Amino acid sequence: MTLAELSRNTAFRLAAMFVSLYSGAMIVAFLIAYWQAGNLLDRHLLDRLSETRDALLVVATRDGFEGLRGVVQSEAAAIRTSDTILRLLDKSGATVAGNAASVEIFQGVRRIPRASIPEMAGRASYEDSFVARWIDVAGGKLLVGVSDRDEQATRDSILAGLGLGIISVLGVAGLAGIWLANRAQSHIDAFGKTLEAVSHGKLDRRVPMTGRGDDLDQVAERLNSALDRLSRLIERVNQSSSAIAHELKSPIGRLRQRLERLPYSGSTQTSEEIVGAALAEIDRVVEIIDAVLRISQIQAGARRNRFTPIDLAELVEEVAEVYEPVAEEAGLALVCQPPMTNGRILGDPQLLRQLFVNLIENAMRHSGGGRTITLSLDQDHGDPVAVVADDGAGIPEEERQRVLEPFARLDASRSTPGAGLGLSLVAAIAELHGARLVLGDNAPGLSVRMHFRRQK
């Protein structure tokens, strides 16, 4: 990953933001600590200065000016006094002892860099300062100064510690950010590659999942289920468009044959018969196209604007009444089974009529030795469930979902006239009404249960 890519990476940007906020807060905290430690060290330094001064004042009181001169002289000569500056003046202002003759009299406490005192500059390899003051002693004046070297060293080591801490925090957080970003990026790259492959027609490709169940995994899961639906949809569209073409091919083929025969005399059919048959084929084609257009219009859902309150029980009874004699003529019994519970729903009565007619006609056509078609209305948690059942051949379980798709017909019933659009129209109408369609075994026969939603 290049730096430019890194800066666009969400995880990295988050990590970088977090690191800078965190280190900002840390720096503020460190500055406060450093400032307080500095105050403490300064007080400590002043205490040492006072201690040294007090010790020398004790000598002056006890041994007099001369005794003090002896102590200052021996102190100044000692090697370790490179950490202390002293200068003793007599009443006339002449230097009588000490190691810092160049430091003039001043008021109060001063910090004097070692480099500015020629006598001391060469005596140590480090750069420190002296905190010094002039005091009055009996018989003269005395300069006392102590090196801040220890305090300076402590200050430096605190600063170094804090600095190192910040740098290591920044480093660790930065590295973690890059690592996290890389990990997220490799996932997202995998998403991108998969989607690219899918868009190039490899519909079986899926986004990899880590199994950690994190947010990226959740996105991957949703992406995969969307891809599943998409590929099923595309498969269905492919299947149904080829099925529609197939379905149209045969009546158009027959139509062509019939019209070809028209000009030849000597045909066993009169031209009137041929034209009649040709018109019937055209009606067949028109019917298929009409059904396909109807299904797509219903699926588009525009009819929902025209929903009105309907009593399903009334509607089912009405359709049953129309079809009872029709079924009877076909040698079947159509039974509207009580109890027909109240089934108030919102819907389109014309489409619902077509739904029940299609189911009844489907049951009649595929009754396969059955004798009875039963219409009933159940309840499921207060929602009405309309049931159309027959005692015919039924549909094998593995075929049940497929028959709801356009033009899907069972191989066994291939010879039965009528395109396989009836049930898919039923499925489209049920879906428009938010009804769940369940094909089940009526043992023997097929039961179609439609779980509607009651009118609220």
Interface residues toward other proteins, by CB under 8 A = 276, 279, 282, 286-287, 289-294, 296-298, 302-303, 306, 321-323, 325-326, 329-330, 349-351, 353-354, 357, 361, 364-365, 418, 422
Burial class (CB in 10 A: 0-12, 13-18, 19+), 425: buried
Kind and range of the H or E run holding 290: helix 271-300
Q: Tokens 């990899």 sit at which residue?
A: 208
* Closest CA relative to residue 88, chosen from 56, 51, 123, 128: 56
Name which of 191 and 307 has its Cβ closer to other proteins: 307
Per residue, the 3-state secondary structure of 381-404, as one string, reads: CCEEEEEEEECCCCCCHHHCCHHH
Residue 366 is given by DSSP the state T
Closest residue by Cα to residue 195 from 186, 182, 205: 205
Q: Which is nearer to other proteins, 76 or 388 (CB)?
A: 388
Hey, what's the torsion of the CAs at 323, 329, 330, 331, to 10 degrees? 110
Could you tell me the smallest distance in angstroms from the CB atom of residue 296 to other proteins?
Answer: 8
Inter-residue contact 261 to 275 (CB < 8 Å) = no
Q: Which is nearer to other proteins, 42 or 287 (CB)?
A: 287
Least distance (Å) between residue 377 CB and other proteins: 20
Please state, in angstroms and rounded to a whole number, the distance separating the CA atoms of residues 54 and 69: 15
Of 382, 403, 383, the residue nearest 446 (C-alpha): 403
Which residue, 321 or 380, has its beta carbon nearer to other proteins?
Answer: 321
3-state SS, residue 147: strand
C-beta of 357: minimal distance to other proteins in Å?
A: 6
Cβ closest to other proteins, residue 19 vs residue 334: 334
Sheet holding 84-90, edge to edge: 95-98, 84-90, 140-147, 129-137, 109-113
- Nearest to other proteins of 276, 339 (CB atom): 276
- Min CB(318)–other proteins separation in Å: 8
By beta-carbon proximity to other proteins, the closer residue of 147 and 354 is 354
Nearer to other proteins, 139 or 418 (CB): 418
Q: Cβ 392 to other proteins, closest distance in Å?
A: 16
Please, are residues 390 and 446 in contact by the beta-carbon 8 Å criterion? yes
Using alpha carbons, list the distances in angstroms from residue 395 to 180, 296, 385: 54, 25, 20
Q: Is 189 or 290 the residue whose CB approaches other proteins more closely?
A: 290
Token pair in block for residue 171: 């480093």
Tokens of 16: 């970088």
Residue closer to other proteins, measured from CB, 364 or 395: 364
Cα separation, 274 vs 253, whole angstroms: 14
Q: Give the number of other Cβ atoms within 10 Å of residue 434's Cβ.
A: 13
Q: How far is the CB of 363 from other proteins (least distance, A)?
A: 11
> How far apart are CB 217 and other proteins at their closest, in Å?
44
CB of 449 to other proteins, least distance (A): 23
Q: Can you say whether the dihedral through the CA atoms of 158, 163, 166, 172 is positive or negative?
A: negative
Q: How far is the CB of 297 from other proteins (least distance, A)?
A: 5
Quote the least distance from Cβ 340 to other proteins, whole Å: 18
Amino acid identity at 279? L
